[in-house]
Amino acid sequence: MIVIFLGPPGAGKGTQAEYIARRRGIPQLSTGDMLRAAVKAQSPLGIQAEAIMKAGQLVPDELVVGLIESRLTEPACAPGFLLDGFPRTLPQAEMLDALLPRHGRRLAAVLELQVDESALLARLDRRVADAVAAGLPVRPDDNPETFRHRLSVYRDQTTPLIPYYAARGVLHAIDGMQAVAEVSAQIDRVLDSLS
């Protein structure tokens, strides 16, 4: 089962993808995590991505599609995988559409986590406070100014994916304003109805 998580930054995509991945025994492929690992390792890709990410902008489409393609042939991805933070632009979605059949794979569902924008900044404050309290590093792009920019990038570049996937009959809206467990339960119901 191949599932895409769509939603603005701070909507809870990562949290929900992690839960569903554990429950269904399939990996979560987060392009944000892969890019952060590349930055940490200071690989050529990481060096290229670092400033772009810090500014809250998008890394070039070909680079992230390459990251996904290199992972989806891994044996762990054979039963399926969850895409968290990818695709983020129409060209990425189109490249994914071309890529999956080449590997004999098919997209099962796109889950759109819907949240009020006003709640997102409050969530960001909480995420930063939690990281500080746990003695964890705060993401360099988790500050109000960059976060607002990431939101506008989502609005401009990623929301066109909503009608794109709706037209393909794979889009499912999820009310992301509920408690975390409620959101998970709603996602489970959608995925159970597909299998």
The active-site residue, picked from 24, 54, 105, 139, is 139
Residue among 117, 177, 112 nearest 152 (CA): 117
The structure tokens 């492929």 sit at 29
Contact residues for 93 (Cβ-Cβ < 8 A; gap 6+): 87, 161, 164, 165
Q: How far is CA 111 from CA 16, 26, 35, 81, in A?
A: 10, 16, 22, 13
The verdict on whether 13 is a catalytic residue reads yes
The answer to whether 193 and 3 have CB atoms below 8 angstroms apart is no
- Smaller CB distance to ligand AMP: residue 138 or 185? 138
The active-site residue, picked from 71, 123, 127, 148, is 127
Q: Whole-number minimum distance, CB 152 to ligand AMP, in Å? A: 12
Q: How many residues bind ligand AMP (CB under 6 A)?
A: 18
- Smaller CB distance to ligand AMP: residue 16 or 92? 92
Q: Whole-number minimum distance, CB 193 to ligand AMP, in Å? A: 27
The verdict on whether 23 is a catalytic residue reads no
> Contact residues for ligand AMP (CB under 6 A)?
9, 31-32, 35, 52-53, 56-59, 64, 85-88, 92, 141, 150
